[in-house]
Chains A and B, each alone.
Chain A
Amino acid sequence: MTERVEPGEVLAVSGPSGCGKSTLFRVLTGVLPSLVPADVQGEVRVNGDRVGDVGLASVLARVGLVQQDPEAQICTLSVREEVAFGPENLCLSTEEVDRRVEEALARTGISHLASRGTLSLSGGEKQRLAIASVLALRPGALLLDEPTAHLDPPGAAEILSLLACLRKEDGLTLGIAEHRLAPLLPLRPRLLLLDAGRVVARRSPLRRGDLVALGLRDAWSIRRSPLSRQRRPALVLNQVSFGYGEDRLLSGLSLSLFPGEVLGVLGKNGSGKTTLLRLIAGLERPRGGEVVRGAKGRLGFLFQFPHQQIFERTVRREVEIEGRLDDETLRARLAAARLTGFEERPPYSLSLGEERRLALSTALARAPDVLLLDEPFVGQDRENAEWVIDQVLALRARGGVTIIVSHDVPLLAALCDRLLYLGGASDFGEPGEVLAHLEEEGETAFLPSFWDGEEG
């Protein structure tokens, strides 16, 4: 590919999982091949200098890279130290380091967190810290790899507004890799759509009509057959309370789910969504109340990070953990997970989407009556998301209950029979009712319409 990015421009890079978005950013910053060996042909120039000639650190001081998982890139224990890390590595005077730290904290709106420990920050705060620690090097451009993937809707809205502000006030050049493009429309980005490492479409500036034309619109139309009326609930939470230490996460939560129902769980980071799944799975014991699963109560659980539940050396062995399978069954199971031909591959060499399909297929192999999915759509392209949706609908048709924790509000609103909002005042009901209540409460970032974005 050959591209030229002008100062102050916003470049949106999108495409299916594994298309090369993160790789492109790593090549642009020289991380590939300087830090991670790779076969890179052609050249990248930053401010006219060839990346290979000026040294990695010098390039990264001009083009800051914020990776997808903010947690993994924090290397100190306090916010101030983290932001100072870069300037101190440049051996600047202590006065200059302090000046840059204050400036970066103020620009990202986290001055009030300066003395906090990094371990106690929320997801949104960690993302802001990751951006601040790169801004302290005063780069002219910032590349962000799915900056809102791990954030709740209000946190994501904050980061997008911060990026708009950095571009407007500081004239920063931005490169943003994202699956959901509609929220970027106010930034008037130029779109590079990748597939299998090639640019397959360009739009400048990106408009809402382009999203529809390119099939990138973040809207879902899911047909659900009506559920047969059942008298006995498959899952009951009765006055469930839980907390860690002195903090109370869930307080007197009650709900009943009937066979076939799909429940979507929304809420801010740290509101207890994952904890709720852990309580239902029996991994935590409630402090008060009870969780009652149906008579059979077989459970399938897809963790947010699928590598935590993959244990074997090959895909075949992983699928056979619960017992040996004949070749035909094994092939059928892998084909259902779109993993045909992967039998002897190490699971850890799979892409995130493939890992998630493998983990979900092993969870489904237990024929669960209750399926728990923790953020199954993070970092997923539409094709992978549709595969997950198909599995949920198949379980729904068999009468299994599915509970999905996700920040993808438009998708949850389209897929789920009921929504549960966990927050100051928890709300449980039909999607329309819950979203209407959220609108009344002023939680606009949780409304599907918020994610349609407005053109800038």
Chain B
Amino acid sequence: MPERLLHRASPATNLLLLGAFLSVALGSESLLVRAGALLLVPSLALLSGEGPRNLVRRGRFLLLFALVLILSQALFVRDGRTLFSFWPRFTTGGLEAGAGMALRFLLIVSSSLLFVLVTDADRLGAWIARLRVPYRHGAVVVLALRFLPLFRHELRAVRDAQRVRGIEASLRTPRGLLRAARYTFLPVLVAGLSRADALAISMVGRGFGLHPRRTRRPCPPLGWSDAAGVILSLLLVAATVVSRQARWP
């Protein structure tokens, strides 16, 4: 399948875009601007060729957690006008605080996910090398991205093993919860360490660390995808600044 939009863009453009989304999430107090930026994230993913089913699968847990954030704020913040007087008492201030927190959370996590989805790790490594970041440090970023899916797979297998042995049932008590967390952490850690061992041998065996640099490949020229990414980033930053100055709702 041909690469589209952000998949074609330089890692630098994608990083700039991520920075712009984070500036909205952390810098703008306007719920409208944050909500608008949040809508842009799945739109960009779709335009870049990511499947809608994939987005729904990844997004549903985020939305669920965002809902929990809204409810927790709505239950405990009592500022503003009362919307429902019966228990639980919801106020406009509580809902605003919840919505603000949920939007901030969703924007930070979803834009980071978008960056991981559309950025080619090997291209990112080459680009980091151009910034004169030591090769060893740049390689860490590439390896982290390479191993994310493997850890996800490992985590799923460990949880399945817990289900098969009936360990899942003990999640109802705090002690059981702690035990389940330990039972998840330990096998995943062991898997990570054993993979790290094999990986280190494989990398050193192929000359990693022999020289402070590696063969540098020319980066592909910037294209219209990069232009679109830069313009969008500038617009997002401008919206952040203006919304702060003008105190947009």
Q: Does B173 contact A (CB under 8 A)?
A: no
Determine whether the beta carbon of A65 is less than 8 Å from that of B201. Answer: yes
Q: A228 at the A/B interface (Cβ < 8 Å)?
A: no
Q: Decide: A310 and B217 in contact? CB cutoff 8 A.
A: no
Residues of A within 8 A of B158 (CB): 308-309
Is the beta-carbon distance between A133 and B157 smaller than 8 angstroms? no
Q: Are B206 and A134 in contact (CB under 8 A)?
A: yes
Residue count of chain B within 8 Å CB distance of chain A:
49
B161-201 vs A, Cβ < 8 Å mask (1 yes, 0 no): 11111110000000000000011001100110011011111
Contact B201 A73, beta carbon cutoff 8 Å: yes
Interface residue ranges of B179-229 to A (CB < 8 Å): 182-183, 186-187, 190-191, 194-195, 197-211, 213-215, 217
**Which residues of chain B come closer than 8 Å to A425, judged between CB atoms?**
none
Q: Which of these, B142, B145, B165, B199, contacts A72 with CB under 8 Å?
A: B199
CB-based contact A72/B215 at 8 Å? no
Contact with B along A110-128 (1 / 0, CB 8 A): 0000000011000000000
Partner of A348, one of B143, B162, B190, B200: B190
Asked whether any CB of chain B lies closer than 8 Å to the CB of A81, the reply is yes
A351 to chain B, nearest CB (A): 13
Task: Tell me whether B149 is interfacial, beta carbon within 8 Å.
Answer: yes
CB-nearest residue of chain B to A313: B186
User: Which label, helix, strand, loop or mixed, suits the secondary structure of the B interface?
Assistant: helix
Asked if B203 and A309 sit within 8 Å, CB to CB, the answer is no
Provide the bound-state CA to CA distance between A134 and B207, in Å: 10
Q: How far is the CB of B167 from chain A (nearest CB, A)?
A: 7
Minimum CB distance partner of B193 in chain A: A348
Shortest C-beta distance, B232 to chain A (Å), equals 26
CA gap between A31 and B208 in the complex, in Å: 13
A69–B150 Cα distance when bound, in Å, is 13
Quick check: A72 and B195 within 8 Å, CB to CB? yes
By the criterion CB–CB under 8 Å, are B122 and A301 in contact? no
**A226-243: which have CB < 8 Å to B?**
none
Q: How distant is the Cα of A73 from the Cα of B194 in the complex, in angstroms?
A: 11
Q: Is A273 an interface residue (CB 8 A)?
A: no
Whether the pair B207, A57 counts as a contact (CB closer than 8 A) is yes
List chain B residues, Cβ under 8 A from A204. none
Instruction: Give the docked Cα–Cα distance between A92 and B200 (Å).
Output: 22
Q: A75-B146, A283-B164 are in contact. Are A133 and B121 (CB under 8 A)?
A: no
B154 to chain A, nearest CB (A): 7
A35 smallest CB distance to B (angstroms): 6
With a cutoff of 8 Å between Cβ atoms, the chain B residues found around residue A72 in the complex are: 194-195, 198-199, 202
Residue contact A89 to B211, C-beta cutoff 8 Å:
yes
Whether A67 lies near B202 (C-beta < 8 A) is yes
In the complex, are the beta carbons of B206 and A85 less than 8 A apart? Answer: yes
What class of interface size applies to chain A in its complex with B? Answer: 35 or more
CB proximity of B176 to chain A, nearest CB, Å: 12
The answer to whether B157 touches A73 (Cβ under 8 A) is no
Chain B residue contacts of A133, Cβ below 8 A? 206
Per-residue CB contact flags for chain B residues 68-109 toward chain A (1 = under 8 Å, else 0) read 000000000000000000000000000000000000000000
When distances are taken between beta carbons in the complex, the residues of chain B under 8 Å from A130 are 202
Q: Which of A97-146 contact B (CB under 8 A)?
A: 97, 118-119, 130, 133-134, 137
- Is the Cβ of B201 less than 8 Å from the Cβ of A283? no
Task: Say if the beta carbon of B120 comes within 8 Å of chain A.
Answer: yes
> Which residue of A has the minimal Cβ distance to B53?
A245
Against B, the Cβ 8 Å flags (1 = close, 0 = not) of A17-50 are 0000000001001010001100000000000000
Using known A-B contacts A278-B160, A301-B164, determine if residue A137 contacts B190 with beta carbons closer than 8 Å: no
Q: CA A175 – CA B112 in complex, angstroms?
A: 45
Report the separation of the CA atoms of residues A307 and B200 in the bound assembly, to the nearest whole angstrom: 20
- Residue contact A89 to B207, C-beta cutoff 8 Å: yes
Q: Are B201 and A91 closer than 8 Å at their CB atoms?
A: no
Query: With a CB–CB cut-off of 8 A, which chain A residues contact B198?
Result: 67, 69, 72-73
Is there an interface contact between B187 and A76, defined as CB atoms closer than 8 Å?
no
A77 touches B205 (CB 8 A): no
Across the interface, name the chain A residue whose C-beta is closest to B201. A31
Q: Given the complex, which residues of B lie within 8 Å of A245, measured CB to CB?
A: 53
B167 touches A308 (CB 8 A): no
Contact B145 A77 (CB under 8 A): yes
Chain A nearest CB from B118 CB (Å) reads 13
Q: Which residues of A are found within 8 Å of B53, using beta-carbon distances? A: 245
Residue-by-residue, is A353-372 near B (CB-CB < 8 Å gives 1, otherwise 0)? Answer: 00000000010001000000
With known contacts A245-B53, A309-B164, A311-B183, A119–B149 Cβ distance under 8 A? yes
Residues of A within 8 A of B195 (CB): 72
Per the bound structure, the CA–CA distance linking A86 and B209 in Å amounts to 11
Smallest Cβ distance from A29 to chain B, in angstroms?
Answer: 7
Using a CB–CB cutoff of 8 Å, the interface residues on chain B facing chain A are 53, 120-122, 139, 142-143, 145-146, 149-150, 154, 157-158, 160-167, 182-183, 186-187, 190-191, 194-195, 197-211, 213-215, 217
Question: 18 A–B contact pairs at CB < 8 A?
Answer: A57-B210, A60-B204, A64-B205, A65-B201, A67-B198, A74-B146, A75-B203, A77-B142, A78-B120, A78-B122, A89-B211, A90-B211, A91-B214, A130-B202, A245-B53, A301-B161, A301-B164, A311-B161
Q: State the 4 A-B residue pairs at the shortest beta-carbon distance, nearest first.
A: A89-B207, A73-B202, A86-B206, A309-B161
